[in-house]
Structure 1
């Protein structure tokens, strides 16, 4: 009998047993998908009774008219699970969406972890992309949740998802860039860029003219997009003149 062959087997066998016990323990502690109660499944008690009833009625009506099914699921905690994986598991267990169309949407919220997820069926990816779903979470639902307005977050989120499936969703105006911020960015880029162009132009009048004609419109284009053809031509002319004459003034003043 070969002792060297027996020893590895004696070690490998109990190791395999322990590995399978470990896998079984993990599966035993996996978070179970709760029972489907309807369109609104508020297991974390985040919604008021009136809002819950309102959403249930609205989502049922939307399913009847548009055939798209939107389901809400709130849970107290993920208990170590990944929200995305659990959302998919719930969607598959509940068979959200019509058979053959895969046109279901599930909004999953883990209260303790403060995480929100919107899973969209493949049948809706043409009208509701992952990017659009993410924008709805970030711009519509999450800000209201942070203010403690769970009812408002769910209602606004549902309305945005409905609008998105109909091609009517627009980002929340409160989160769009403000005109004042755009002007500040424009001036900052223009000032710093202009200094660079003047420095380059001081080396040569011809080089300054070319850099002014090309560089200044490019700066405006970067700072304020889109730009019209007339504005572009006008700024090009201004840049050419600035590049030709300003360096001369600077150079003459230095003597």
Structure 2
């Protein structure tokens, strides 16, 4: 009996310790890095101390040069949110990342979901459109994350974003799949235009026929119906040491 009294609690404790990294963390318990004069909140402990210092220095220099506030967060699980995107948007607005010009940027790694989300304020959307964010994610973060190099992927992505902000264009992909996507999109637009035009012509024809039918009816009945038709027709506050910005609803995400 003594053996079991010792072994069972030990097994339970071991299981809890091993599953602890996958447990959800309430959003109000995610440490705000600005309270420590930093920009990175590595809750999942996937970034080495040296890399974290490097990232914080890069982001601190960026803020001093441009006033742009860019934060990075890693969390074990998006729960209780439905997905990583919802959590990222809520966290962005809770912390109020960015200045009053809404030039904030937030990167969140949801480890259990194997998903990265980036949320952006209106003030940065012209420089960092969603399509560009997704391309940089695919180029810099996803390959590194698949190898387990989360710190390296975040550093490469951050460096690429800063270069774009400074005015250096990110290399564009030229692939057959991209050209095929353009052709297919163009064909879909043409088909929709043709269908819409045909529908309008058909509606005009039916309307013309109804008008001719009405002319053969009693004038007063027609006028009364017209009057009825006309009468029917008329008839985040939160925990923040950031600059007070808000999300513009833009951004992008990628799985790895």
- TM bucket normalised to smaller: 0.5 to 0.7
Q: Which residue of 2 aligns with 1:35?
A: 31
Give how far 1:169 is off. Answer: 3.7
2: distance between equivalents of 1:169 and 1:89? 30
Query: 2 CA distance for matches of 1:30 and 1:141?
Result: 24
The answer on whether the counterparts of 1:39 and 1:72 sit within 8 Å (CA) in structure 2 is: yes
Instruction: Please list the CA deviations of residues 33-74 of structure 1 after superposition, one character each: whole Å capped at 9, or x if unmatched.
Output: 413023001001110000001111111111001111110011
- Give the aligned partner of residue 110 of structure 2: 110
- 1:131 positional shift: 0.8
Alignment of 1:136-151 (within 5 A): 136-151=136-151
Shift of 1:140: 1.1
1:132 counterpart residue number: 132
Q: What TM-score comes out, normalization by structure 2 length? A: 0.54
More relative contact order, 1 or 2 (CA 8 Å, 6+ apart)? 2
Aligned to 1:233: none
Q: Tell whether the 8 Å contact from 1:135 to 1:171 is kept in structure 2 after alignment.
A: no
Change (3 A) 1:43 1:127: same
Alignment of 1:73-222 (within 5 A): 73-81=73-81, 82-99=83-100, 101-171=101-171, 176=173
CA RMSD for the aligned pairs? 2.1
1:30, CA displacement in angstroms? 8.9
Structure 2 residue runs of 5 or longer lacking an equivalent are: 1-23, 177-182, 184-256
CA contact (8 A) 1:144 1:153 kept: yes
SS of the residue 2:97 aligns to: coil
TM-score (norm: length of structure 1): 0.54
Deviations 1:70-94 (CA, angstroms, capped at 9, x unpaired):
1001101112522111111111111
Aligned residues: 148
2: CA distance between counterparts of 1:31 and 1:83? Answer: 13
Greater helix share, structure number: 1
Contact 2:70 2:106 in 1 (8 A): yes
Structure 1 30/145 Cα, relative in aligned 2: closer, same or farther at 3 Å?
Answer: closer
For structure 1, list consecutive stretches of 5 or more residues without a partner in the other structure. Answer: 1-28, 183-221, 223-255
Q: How far apart, in 2, do the equivalents of 1:73 and 1:151 lie? A: 11
CA shift at 1:166, angstroms? Answer: 2.5
Q: How does 1:1-80 map to 2 (within 5 A)?
A: 31-33=26-28, 34-37=30-33, 38-80=38-80
Q: Which has the larger radius of gyration?
A: 1
Q: Is the 8 A contact 1:127 1:166 kept in 2?
A: no
SS in 1 for 2:27: coil
